[in-house]
Amino acid sequence: MSEKIKEVHANLPRTFDRTDEPWYHYLTIDIIWKVLGYTLFHPWTSWILVLCLRAQLTPYEALEMKISMAWALAMSTIGVFNIISERVAYGRAREVDLSEEVIVITGGVEGLGGLLAETYGMRSANVAVLDTKEISNEEGEEKGILYYKCDVSDAKQVEAVAAEIVEDLGVPTILINNAGIVHSKSILDSTAEDVENVFRTNTLSHFNTLRTFLPHMLREGRGTIVTVSSVLGSLGAANLSSYAASKAALLALHHSLRAELAQHQDGKEIKTILVTPGQMSTRMFADVKTPSNFLAPIVAPVDVAKDILRLVEQGESGEVAVPLYSQYIGILGVLPVGVQTLVRRWSGVDTAIVKAGLVQNEKSE
């Protein structure tokens, strides 16, 4: 008799649970911008247009030839400038071989962290997940992941688990700080314990993991540190004060970390990645509605994960900000205050939690 086939249960994205949307629901400014980036705004494509005109024997003095050459030259100049700018900011990429790396992911049971952990697990990488949720050894073996029950807000627990990871897998070289919780309460309704709990999990945990794992990376002379913040760290939002403030602190922490690594003699080969996504389709903000699916689409965790995976495996530093508006959210701060007020009012950022009925509720990711 043939051996019974093992059943693997898949957790499908939330979009599979919804009714089919009209085609224009999936048309967003992010898709348009991406297409333009590979066509009109791409240096190679711009020069192909010039070559096509020459193939038609268009003279150099013709207006269309002058315009196409000027455009191609401008796109090439911008492209070269961006390459030089990133090299100045981040330096050369480091060599990454997943078989020789040990990846530590906090909050890696569900959501974005869970997706990253399972992706690396399927690729037979050395993955250690730190989470307060317990996962059986059998499930861990199926996924190719070692799960450690650990409250990353407790420095002693992190240190104890780090010793186990070094013994089980080796010296950690990639740290993805992803753990996070939210208390959707107003400032007046929040207790001291609520605020402290959010900051301990969302912010202080990063200090705990950095103090524990960064020395290993410095001794190895290589490493990658991923800091998962949020676009709300730059915006703030009503009824999300503790969450937004804890994520804002991570922005400053990331820049401070980069500055200290630049001054450390063994920190040149340690790369840093800042992740500031917009609203993701995870359980944390599952019922929150976006004001415009075209301008501010809800991001699937896979869209964030693939950019993180790309930077980590290319050995590069950088920033992951999706959807498109999250890349330019800093511009809002330089606009006149009246315009800022109108944008916030239109976006619904300060009323979204109330409309979703999430005030006073607590969810974790």
Rounded Cα–Cα distance for residues 78 and 143 (Å) = 43
Q: Which of 148, 243, 271, 325 is catalytic?
A: 243
CA distance 33 to 202: 32
* The predicted structure's pLDDT at residue 16: 45
The distance from CA 362 to its chain's CA centroid, rounded to whole angstroms, is 22
Among 207-221, 249-263, 275-289, name the one with the lowest average pLDDT: 275-289
**pLDDT range class, residue 293, cuts 50, 70, 90:** confident
Q: Tell me: domain 98-364, CATH 3.30.1780.10, correct?
A: no
Residue 157: which residues within 8 A CB-CB, separation 6 or more?
150, 151
Q: Rounded to the nearest 5°, which phi and psi values hold at 296?
A: -135, 70
Catalytic residue at 26?
no
Residue-range domain boundaries for the chain: 24-90, 98-364
pLDDT confidence band for 284 (50 / 70 / 90): confident
Tally the C-alpha atoms within 13 A of residue 354's C-alpha that lie toward its C-beta: 8
pLDDT at 8 exceeding the cut of 50? no
Residue 362: its pLDDT value, please? 46
How far does Cα 28 stand from its chain's mean position?
Answer: 20
Please write the tens of the pLDDT for every residue from 154-190. Answer: 999 999 999 999 999 999 999 999 999 999 999 999 9
pTM value? 0.90
Residue among 211, 199, 193, 192 at smallest CA distance from 153:
199
Query: What is the pLDDT at residue 18?
Result: 52
Using alpha carbons, select from 112, 94, 103 the residue that is nearest to residue 229. Answer: 112
Residues 6+ positions from 285 with CB-CB distance below 8 Å: 182, 279, 356, 358
Q: Which of 185, 247, 271, 325 is catalytic?
A: 247
DSSP 10: -
In this predicted structure, which of 11-25, 32-46, 47-61, 135-149 has the lowest mean pLDDT?
11-25
271 labelled catalytic: no
Question: How confident is the model at residue 30, as a pLDDT?
Answer: 94
pLDDT at 2: 45
State pLDDT tens for residues 91-150.
Answer: 999 999 999 999 999 999 999 999 999 999 999 999 999 999 999 889 999 999 999 999
**Looking at residue 188, what is its pLDDT?**
94
Work out the average pLDDT over 271-281.
95
